[in-house]
Amino acid sequence: MTIGEALKSRRLHAGMSQTEMAAGIVSESFYSKVERGVHAIDAETLIKILSVHHFDVTGFFAQINNQSSTGPFFELTSEITFAQNRRDVKALDKIKRKIENGEVQAPLWLKFKLELAYAWALRSNDQISPEMKKKIKKLVLNENWDRTSYHFLSQAVIFLDVDDSKQLVEAAYAAYRKHPATDTFTLQFMAFITINYLNCCYHQHANKSYTESTFNFLQELPVDPAIGLEKLIGKFYQAVFSGDEQKARSLKSIIQDCGYASIIDDVEIDE
C-alpha cells in the first residue's frame, strides 16, 4: 500500500473531504496529488497531517509496510465507507445497482459491508432480516475478545435489537476490564462501541437503564486525545438520556462547531 492509498483510506473512513484532510497544512491540490501518487510528501508534513486528525502515526506506517496491495475492491470499499459516514443513501443506492446489475462481482463480505452502511445511514435495523441478526450475534459471541472483535462489535451493533446489543457490549466491557489495553486502536474501538451503542439506544427508544453501564465505562477509559471526541459525544448522550436539555444543547453546539455535526444531527432536543 502506498502512502497516498493509505491516506485516502484513512480520510474516507473518517468521512472527510480532501480539503478537510489537508487541514491547511498543504493545499487541497497538493494533497490530491499525494493521494494519486503524483507528488511525494516529506515525512514531517505527513506526520503533521496525521497528528492534526489524531491518527495513529505508528499504525499508519505499519499499514504501509504490511500491505503490498489494496485488493480488487479497495475503491468500492472506500466509496461505501465514505457514503456511510456522510449518510449518503443515494450513493449507496448507486453502488447497490452496480452489484445487482452485475457490473461488480461482489463477494459476500462486500455485500455485508454495504448492508451495514445502509443500516448506519438510515439509523435503523428494520431492513435487517432476523436470520442476519442471529448470525451476527452468534459471530460476536464466538469471538475471543481482542482488538479485532471489539472493532467488529462497534460496527455490527446496529444490526442487533437493543437487548442483544446490551448483552454484547457489556460482555465487551467486562473483557476489556479484565485485560485493559491502552494502544490507540483498542481505545478507539472501545469508544466506538460506546457511542454507537448509545446511538442505537436512542433510536430504539431504550430507557435510561440501558445506558448507565456504558456511561460508567466511557468515564473509566483513560484521558487520551484519540478518544476525546467520543468522550464528548458520550457526555452529550448522557445529557439527552437524563433530560438535561440545556446541557445537551450546549454540548451539541460544541460538537457541531468542531465540524462533527453529522454524528449527532439525528438526535432531537426539545426546545
Q: Are residues 136 and 33 in the same domain?
A: no
Maximum pairwise Cα distance, the chain: 54
Position 95 pLDDT exceeds 80: yes
Q: Are residues 231 and 145 in the same domain?
A: yes
As given in the structure block, the three cell numbers for residue 213 are 453501564
Q: Determine the pLDDT at residue 195.
A: 94
Q: Are residues 243 and 147 in the same domain?
A: yes
Between the CA of residue 144 and those of 148, 177, 188, what are the distances in Å?
9, 14, 18
As given in the structure block, the three cell numbers for residue 207 are 430507557
Residue 62, domain CATH: 1.10.260.40
Q: Are residues 251 and 150 in the same domain?
A: yes
Q: Are residues 104 and 136 in the same domain?
A: no
Q: Are residues 30 and 155 in the same domain?
A: no
User: Could you list the residue range(s) of the whole structural domain that residue 31 is in?
Assistant: 1-67
High-pLDDT (> 70) share of the chain, %: 91
Q: Determine the pLDDT at residue 24.
A: 92
d(CA 93, CA 135): 24
How many independent structural domains does the chain possess? Answer: 3
pTM of the model: 0.64
d(CA 53, CA 51): 5
Q: Determine the pLDDT at residue 102.
A: 87
Q: What is the pLDDT of residues 157-215, one digit of tens each?
A: 888 889 999 999 999 999 999 999 888 888 988 999 999 999 999 999 999 999 999 99
Helix, strand, coil percent values for the chain (each to nearest 5):
70, 0, 30
